[in-house]
Structure 1
């Protein structure tokens, strides 16, 4: 899965309508999130750093729930926006998920095992497990 990394408010209007997952590397306002959801009707999740997610209003959280958009806490580690505007979850990650499932692990156990290894938040790993293609 590709995660579109957005570093500033100015980038919101340049995002294509087909994005499914977006990481906001800045503190978004309610207006920023509304604009983003309007511009990207196919978005399934917004990934926001821990320090910023706490500032998202309850009304915006309710709006995202109504639209079926997951609000995921976490960061994109080791990504350089100047090289690529996307951070990508490799196919080997999904293969590891499959192997853990075959071994009888629950999604919670898989997330706990893979969190440190992948440098991803538990929320993001659980989202990927749930929405595996």
Structure 2
């Protein structure tokens, strides 16, 4: 799975309509979030650093909720935008997720372990688990 990393508001207009998960590496305004949703009608989640997520207005959160778009808190560690505009979530993360669930661990234990092992945020991991379960049900 790929997360598109967006470093500035100027990049929003260049996004493709097929983007599913977007990480905003800048402090977005309400206008930026609305522009992002218009540019990417298929977006399922917007991932924002902890320090920036506190500045998102309640009306924008409500708008995203009404659109069925998850607002996720966290960072993409070790990603270099100058090399690749996408941050990859390797298939091994999903395999490990299944392995831990198979061991009978609770969801919170799985999130804790995966968070330590992968340095992915709990919000993002929770979203990935939910999306994986949705795709299983539709198959």
TM-score (norm 1): 0.98
Asked whether 1:67 is paired with 2:77, we answer no
Report the equivalent of 2:127: 127
Q: RMSD value over aligned CA atoms? A: 0.7
The reply on whether 1:50 has 2:88 as its aligned counterpart is no
What is the count of residue pairs matched by the alignment? 133
Offset from partner CA, 1:81-130 (integer Å, 9 cap, x none): 00000001000000001111111112221001111211111111111111
Distance, in Å, in 2 between the alignment partners of 1:55 and 1:120 is: 21
Q: In structure 1, what is the Cα distance between the partners aligned to 2:106 and 2:63?
A: 30
Contact 1:13/1:39 (CA < 8 Å) preserved in 2? yes
TM-score normalised by structure 2 residue count:
0.94
- Give the distance between the partners of 2:106 and 2:21, measured in 1 at CA: 24
Structure 2 residues not aligned, in runs of 5+: none
**Runs of 4+ residues deviating >4 angstroms:** none
Partner of 2:109: 109
Tell whether the 8 Å contact from 1:108 to 1:126 is kept in structure 2 after alignment: no
Q: In structure 2, what is the equivalent of residue 93 of structure 1?
A: 93
1:13 aligns with 2:13: yes
**Which SS does the other structure have where 1:16 is aligned?**
coil
